[in-house]
Amino acid sequence: MSDILLLDWAIMAISLFNTIMLTWLGLTVVFNADRRDWGVWIATAGLLLGALFFVSHSAIVGLGLTQLTWRNMIFWWTAGLVPAIILPFAWYIIILWYAGYWNVPRSQLRQRQNIWLRLTTGMLIVGLVALFTGVLLLAIPSPQLNPLRVFIRYSIAGIPFLAVGYSVYVLLCIGLSLDALRQPAISRRVMGTVARRRAQPWLSSASLALMVVSLLVTGVMLWIVQDARQRTFLEIYLDAQLTISILDLLISAIIAVVVVLLGRAVVSYEVFTGKTLPRGGLKRQWRQAVLLAAGYGIAIGGSIVIQLRPLYSLLLTAMLMTFFFAMVSWRTFAERERYIARLRPFVASNRLVEQLIAQTDPQEVDFITPFYALCADVLDARVAYLAALGPMAPLVGPPISYPSSAQPLPALTSIADRFTGAENEMLSLDADELGAAIWAIPLWSERGLSGVLLLGEKSDSGLYTQEEIEIARVISERLIDTHASAEMSRRLMEIQRQRLAQSQIIDQKTRRALHDDILPDIQAALIALSSAAANGHAGSEKTQRALKLMTDAHKQISDLLHDMPTTSAPEVARLGFITAFKRVVENEFSTVFDDVRWEISPEAQAAAQSLPTLTAEVVFYAAREAVRNAAKHGRGGKAERQLTLTVTMQHTNHLTITITDDGVGLGNSETSGSGQGLALHSTMMAVVGGEVVVDTAAHQFTRVTLNVPVTPVPASASSA
């Protein structure tokens, strides 16, 4: 030590800080790694070797170089010199691995670095033998080893070979690391390229700081090795104790800056763990670890420098650890409260039941407010879109945009094919591909892909954390599912109310017709016939009047029965979907269409036979509704117009039923209906996991496509 209290205190505090932080970073990398490949283990070993170096440094500073015994000096110098030799090369290897040197065999990075990697590897092997031995001899003032000191007398241009070799070795490792960071190879991670770009300033700054450390260490080595030709290292240390202590503090402080920069890159961009996304919790823990290391280094470093009694140091350590544990608990509780406050808009009840059973017109459920809260309070996104895909799309409707002034989205027809179903999957998008979105997050349900969440950049231009994406994924899936469920329930309730109202009208109409019209006519006919029978002759005029009244009553009853909805239904379960559907078209609509064409593949026929009974019935009624609409509205009120119906059934990943007519198309104000039929069947199809897609062109065609999920049909079944 320098016998200057504040200087020694600072040296010890920084040394303990570096020890704690390097140990924490090493264990954090290996514990949180996505895949513990050899690069992760080398990164962990390098960080722990750095911690070992500062363990040795703290021990030497705390015990005092002049107070060390010969055996203690050998042990601690060995523990410090081994990391000093290996760490520059380890840093170089870690940066090469992180930059993708081994990912692409013929990359430009590999072509540039291949020869230099071999050179530095050879220098490491030589250094572990020669450099370590030479420097160790300088620290051992033993007359028996004086013949070996001739080793340090070999020089290049008057500079000892030992100092030249180590200096060139260190400068090469750090300089080549900077080159690898400047032009890295392609990353295999989803956000690897973005993470490298964002982490590059931190890692480059750390490498530049290490370059400064290397230059300082080189200068110190040149000075010491030159002077060591005439006297031992111990004599040099005693003569320049203050200068060496100041240089030690400066180098340790720069390394502490390197540790902070490296930790920032590790926790903010997961540069070594291989995670797809960084985690906000890890960043908060890093900040707490920095506070703990700084506080512990200052407190315990001071107690060591002033030589506080061990009992007091133990008590101080216990109180310090308890304080930091309480602080971490408090911060954890505060973070939990903040997250709960952020998530409160998403867990609040939407009062769907009250709205569905209300006697007044049902109001639209507000899904924009929680989505805006997600984007603004949780994600801090500049732009975001929430869009439903697959069977959910007809129920949810158009995508929700944040903010409301965001540019509209183009069609999302092709994006579903780009998702593989992998866990934590994200797609990188071009800035002009889908609005201003740069990330696409798939949303899944038990039936498969249900939607996609598109995100633009964060307001602070940072990266989304893993916690943020997981929360956004869960909330978005819940919003789509709730929105679809609410819309499905609303449609079913609305249709049920209309059906009940229609049933009441029919009942009232039936009662009024029977009571006011039919029954009096029948009663009058009965009286007339009774009078004729009583007179003993059949009056021609009265008989004709009675027959006319009976005929009119018969016609009214027939018309009434015709207006009442039929309750008979084909036996889909017994006949099968295709047979039942063909029979309905042939029996009910044979006189409506001029021609009916059937195109059914063997695979589709086999797939239709495997449909569950409930699914088959839902598909049957939806198909019948499409045919009924074509028959009712296809001619556009012109009986002379030709009308052809084409039914196509194919099976690939699902059963596709296409019903096409060459009529006037939808949207004709004179012939189009209310659309409640298709709304009902779209809802029921969504219940069984299918969808209804309607396509039309005015005066050309109307095409209704039913997509039904089915179990893949074996080749033998389809051929049979």
Do 169 and 123 meet the contact criterion of CB atoms below 8 Å apart?
A: yes
Q: Tell me 458's DSSP state.
A: B
15 occurs within a structural domain: yes
pLDDT confidence of residue 186: 67
89, 163: one domain:
yes
- What is the structure's pLDDT at 380? 83
Q: Which of 174, 152, 171 is nearest to 163 (CA)?
A: 152
Whole-model pTM? 0.59
- Are 484 and 509 part of one and the same domain? no
Pairing outcome for strands 439-445 and 384-388? unpaired
547 with 579, same domain: the answer is: no
* DSSP conformation letters of 408-451: PP---TTGGGG----TT--EE--TTTSTT--EEEEEEETTEEEE
What pLDDT score was predicted for residue 113? 84
* CATH (domain of 373): 3.30.450.40
- What is the spatial distance between Cα 267 and Cα 287, in angstroms, rounded to a whole number? 10
Nearest to 18 by CA among 51, 67, 45, 63: 51
Predicted local distance difference test score (pLDDT) of residue 17: 92
Q: What pLDDT is recorded for position 351?
A: 61
Tokens for 539? 């009056």
Q: What is the pLDDT of residue 696?
A: 86
Is 20 a member of any domain?
yes
Peptide bond preceding 403: is omega within 30 degrees of 0, i.e. cis? yes
Name residue, tokens 């240390």.
237
Residue 287 domain-assigned (yes or no): no
Look at residue 465 and give its three-state secondary structure.
coil
CA pair distance 690, 15, nearest whole angstrom:
65
Q: Are 707 and 655 a contacting pair, CB within 8 Å?
A: yes
* pLDDT score recorded for residue 714: 45
The pLDDT value recorded for residue 598 is 92
Contact yes or no for 397/474 (Cβ under 8 A): no
Largest CA distance in the chain: 161
CB 274, CB 189: distance < 8 Å: yes
pLDDT digits (tens, 9 = 90+) for 17-61: 999 999 998 888 888 777 777 878 888 888 888 888 888 888 877
In a domain, 138, yes or no: yes
Pairwise CA distance, residues 43 & 25, whole Å:
10
Q: Residues 6 or more apart from 419 whose CB is under 8 A from it?
A: 425, 427, 442, 449
Instruction: Give the single-character DSSP code of 694.
Output: E
Coil, strand, or helix at residue 581? helix
Note whether 453 and 598 are same-domain residues.
no
Task: Kindly state whether residues 538 and 431 are assigned to the same domain.
Answer: no
* Contact partners, residue 64, CB within 8 Å, separation at least 6: 1
Per-position DSSP letters for 146-205, written without gaps between them: GGGGGGGG-EETTEEHHHHHHHHHHHHHHHHHHHHHHS-----SSSHHHHHHHHHHHHHH
Within this chain, do residues 585 and 556 fall inside the same structural domain, yes or no?
A: no
pLDDT for the residue 669: 45
Question: Would you say residue 121 lies in a domain?
Answer: yes
**How many Cα atoms occupy the beta-carbon half-sphere of 100 within 13 Å?**
20
pLDDT at 80: 66
Amino acid at 531: S
Burial 522-535 (b: 16+ CB within 10 A, else e): beebeebbeebeee
Q: What is the pLDDT of residue 676?
A: 63
| 409: amino acid identity, one letter | L
Report residue 64 CA to chain centroid gap.
Answer: 54
* Residue 318 within a domain: no
Q: Looking at the domain assignment, is residue 328 inside a domain?
A: no
- Give me 689's structure tokens: 């996991």
Tell me if residue 595 falls in helix, strand or coil.
strand
pLDDT in tens, 515-561: 667 767 766 766 766 666 566 555 566 666 766 776 777 666 666 65
Same domain, 24 and 173: yes
Q: Which residue has the tokens 């249709």?
A: 495
Cβ neighbourhood burial of 582 (10 Å; 0-12, 13-18, 19+): middle
- If phi over 0 gives left and psi between -120 and 50 gives alpha, with beta otherwise, what is residue 275? beta
CA atoms of 15 and 245, how far apart (whole Å): 13
Residues 397 and 272 in one domain: no
Q: What total of structural domains would you count in the chain?
A: 4
Q: Which residues of the chain have pLDDT under 50?
A: 145-148, 357-362, 566-569, 669-671, 713-720
Residue 635 sits in a domain whose CATH number is 3.30.565.10
Q: In this structure, how many other beta carbons lie within 10 angstroms of the beta carbon of residue 197?
A: 12
CA 42 – CA 49 distance, rounded (Å):
10
**Is 194 exposed, middle or buried (CB count within 10 Å of its CB: 0-12, 13-18, 19+)?**
middle
Which of 489, 520, 536 corresponds to the end of one domain? 489
- Tokens standing for 653? 């990943």
Q: Which of 225, 249, 279 is the last residue of a domain?
A: 279
| Residue 314 in domain | no
Residue linked to tokens 């490296």? 262
99 and 198 within one domain: yes
Given this model, what pLDDT does residue 130 score? 65
Helical segments of 610-675, H only:
613-633
Nearest by Cα to 469 from 407, 423, 403, 420: 423
If asked whether residues 706 and 586 sit together in one domain, one would say: yes
Give the per-residue pLDDT at 117. Answer: 86
Task: Judge whether 180 and 204 are in contact, CB under 8 Å.
Answer: no
Q: Which of 398, 400, 399 is nearest to 369 (CA)?
A: 400
Supply the pLDDT for residue 713: 44
Closest alpha carbon to 655 in 581, 712, 695: 712
| pLDDT value, residue 295 | 87
Which of 563, 580, 598 is the last residue in one of the domains?
Answer: 563
Contact 43, 29 (CB under 8 A): yes
Shared-domain flag, residues 595 and 711: yes
Structural domain span for residue 434: 355-489
Asked if residue 504 and residue 470 are part of one domain, the reply reads no
